[in-house]
Homo-oligomer: A and B are copies of this chain.
Amino acid sequence: MGLPGDTNLELLHYIGSTDMLWAGNSNELNAAYAADGYSRIKGSPGVILTTMGVGELSAINGIAGSFAENLKIIHVVTATGRAAQEKRIMIHHTLGDFHDHRIYAKMSSPVRVSHCYLDDETTAVAGIDRVIRECYIYSRPVYIYVPVDMVHKPVPASALERPLFLNRSSNSNAEEAALHTVLSALYSARNPVMLVDALILQFGLKPLARNLLELLKFPTFCPFMGKSVIEETKPYFYGTYNGRFSYPGIQNSVEEDSDLVVHFWPLPTDMNTGGFSAKINPKKLILIQENKVNFKGQAFEGVYLESFLTRLLNSLDISKVPKIAPLSLPAPSPPELPEIQETQITQAYLWPRMGKFFRSDDIVFADGGTTHFGLQDANSPDITYNMQNYWASIGYALLATFGGAMEKRDLIKSKTEGWNGVKGEGNGRVIFITGEGAMQLTVQEVGSMIREGLDILIIIINHGGYSIERCIVHPEAAYHDIATWNCKYMLDFFGASDGTARTHQARTKEELEAILTRPEFEDPKGVHVLEIFTDKMDFPWRLKAFGQAYREMKGT
A residues sitting closer than 8 Å to B (CB atoms) are 4-7, 9-10, 12-13, 15-16, 22, 24, 26-27, 29, 53-54, 57-58, 60-61, 64-65, 67-68, 80-81, 83-84, 87, 89-96, 103-104, 106-108, 110-111, 148-149, 268-271, 276, 389-395, 440-444, 447-448, 450-451, 466, 468-469, 472-474, 477-490, 492-495, 499, 550, 553-556
Q: What's the least CB distance linking A482 to chain B, in Å?
A: 7
Residues A96 and B81 in contact, CB atoms below 8 Å apart = no
Residues B148 and A93 in contact, CB atoms below 8 Å apart = no
Which of B4, B68, B440, B485 is the one whose CB lies under 8 Å from A479? B4
**Shortest Cβ distance from A150 into B: residue:** B555
A89-B276, A107-B110 known; A392-B483 Cβ under 8 A: no
Which of B53, B58, B269, B489 is the one whose CB lies under 8 Å from A489? B489
Residues A553 and B489 in contact, CB atoms below 8 Å apart = no
Residues A555 and B29 in contact, CB atoms below 8 Å apart = no
Residues A91 and B474 in contact, CB atoms below 8 Å apart = no
**Shortest Cβ distance from A555 into B: residue:** B81
Point out the residues of chain B lying under 8 angstroms from A149, CB to CB.
Answer: 555
Point out the residues of chain B lying under 8 angstroms from A395, CB to CB.
Answer: 27
Point out the residues of chain B lying under 8 angstroms from A103, CB to CB.
Answer: 110
Q: Please name the 6 residue pairs, one residue from A and one from B, whose CB atoms are nearest each other, closest first.
A: A81-B555, A68-B95, A447-B483, A57-B61, A451-B483, A489-B493
Number of copies of chain A assembled together: 2
**Shortest Cβ distance from A108 into B: residue:** B107
**Shortest Cβ distance from A7 into B: residue:** B554
- Considering the chains assembled together, what is the distance between the CA atoms of A492 and B490 in angstroms? 9
- Considering the chains assembled together, what is the distance between the CA atoms of A485 and B482 in angstroms? 24
Q: What's the least CB distance linking A542 to chain B, in Å?
A: 15
Residues A27 and B107 in contact, CB atoms below 8 Å apart = no
Residues A9 and B270 in contact, CB atoms below 8 Å apart = no
A27-B440, A91-B270, A392-B92 known; A469-B5 Cβ under 8 A: yes
Q: What's the least CB distance linking A28 to chain B, in Å?
A: 8
- Considering the chains assembled together, what is the distance between the CA atoms of A336 and B391 in angstroms? 53
**Contacts A16-B477, A54-B391 known; 11 new A-B pairs at CB < 8 A:** A6-B469, A6-B550, A9-B472, A27-B440, A68-B96, A89-B553, A90-B268, A92-B392, A440-B447, A485-B493, A486-B493
Point out the residues of chain B lying under 8 angstroms from A390, CB to CB.
Answer: 92
Point out the residues of chain B lying under 8 angstroms from A270, CB to CB.
Answer: 89-92
Q: What's the least CB distance linking A149 to chain B, in Å?
A: 4
Point out the residues of chain B lying under 8 angstroms from A394, CB to CB.
Answer: 54
A440-B444, A555-B80 known; A483-B495 Cβ under 8 A: yes
- Considering the chains assembled together, what is the distance between the CA atoms of A495 and B84 in angstroms? 47
Residue with the greatest number of chain B CB neighbours at <10 A, chosen from A148, A442, A443: A443
Which of B27, B81, B87, B269 is the one whose CB lies under 8 Å from A91? B269
Q: List 26 A-B pairs, Cβ < 8 Å.
A: A4-B479, A5-B469, A9-B473, A9-B474, A13-B474, A26-B483, A27-B441, A54-B391, A57-B60, A57-B64, A60-B60, A64-B95, A64-B104, A81-B556, A84-B555, A84-B556, A89-B276, A89-B553, A90-B268, A95-B110, A103-B110, A107-B110, A441-B444, A447-B483, A485-B493, A487-B493
Residues B553 and A472 in contact, CB atoms below 8 Å apart = no
Q: What's the least CB distance linking A153 to chain B, in Å?
A: 12
A61-B58, A93-B392 known; A148-B81 Cβ under 8 A: no
- Considering the chains assembled together, what is the distance between the CA atoms of A444 and B30 in angstroms? 13
**Shortest Cβ distance from A452 into B: residue:** B483
**Shortest Cβ distance from A69 into B: residue:** B95
**Shortest Cβ distance from A152 into B: residue:** B555
Point out the residues of chain B lying under 8 angstroms from A5, CB to CB.
Answer: 469
Point out the residues of chain B lying under 8 angstroms from A482, CB to CB.
Answer: 24, 26
Q: What's the least CB distance linking A467 to chain B, in Å?
A: 11
Residues A469 and B4 in contact, CB atoms below 8 Å apart = yes
- Considering the chains assembled together, what is the distance between the CA atoms of A473 and B9 in angstroms? 7
Residues A54 and B469 in contact, CB atoms below 8 Å apart = no
Point out the residues of chain B lying under 8 angstroms from A83, CB to CB.
Answer: 555-556
Point out the residues of chain B lying under 8 angstroms from A54, CB to CB.
Answer: 61, 64-65, 391-394
- Considering the chains assembled together, what is the distance between the CA atoms of A447 and B483 in angstroms? 6
- Considering the chains assembled together, what is the distance between the CA atoms of A482 and B9 in angstroms? 15
- Considering the chains assembled together, what is the distance between the CA atoms of A325 and B480 in angstroms? 62
Point out the residues of chain B lying under 8 angstroms from A441, CB to CB.
Answer: 26-27, 444
Which of B4, B65, B110, B393 is the one whose CB lies under 8 Å from A106? B110
- Considering the chains assembled together, what is the distance between the CA atoms of A478 and B472 in angstroms? 47
Q: What's the least CB distance linking A12 to chain B, in Å?
A: 5
Residues B391 and A95 in contact, CB atoms below 8 Å apart = yes
- Considering the chains assembled together, what is the distance between the CA atoms of A7 and B24 in angstroms? 34
Which of B68, B106, B440, B479 is the one whose CB lies under 8 Å from A22? B479
**Shortest Cβ distance from A151 into B: residue:** B555
Point out the residues of chain B lying under 8 angstroms from A555, CB to CB.
Answer: 80-81, 83-84, 148-149
- Considering the chains assembled together, what is the distance between the CA atoms of A451 and B486 in angstroms? 12
Residues B7 and A440 in contact, CB atoms below 8 Å apart = no
Point out the residues of chain B lying under 8 angstroms from A80, CB to CB.
Answer: 554-555
Residue with the greatest number of chain B CB neighbours at <10 A, chosen from A6, A269, A492, A554: A554
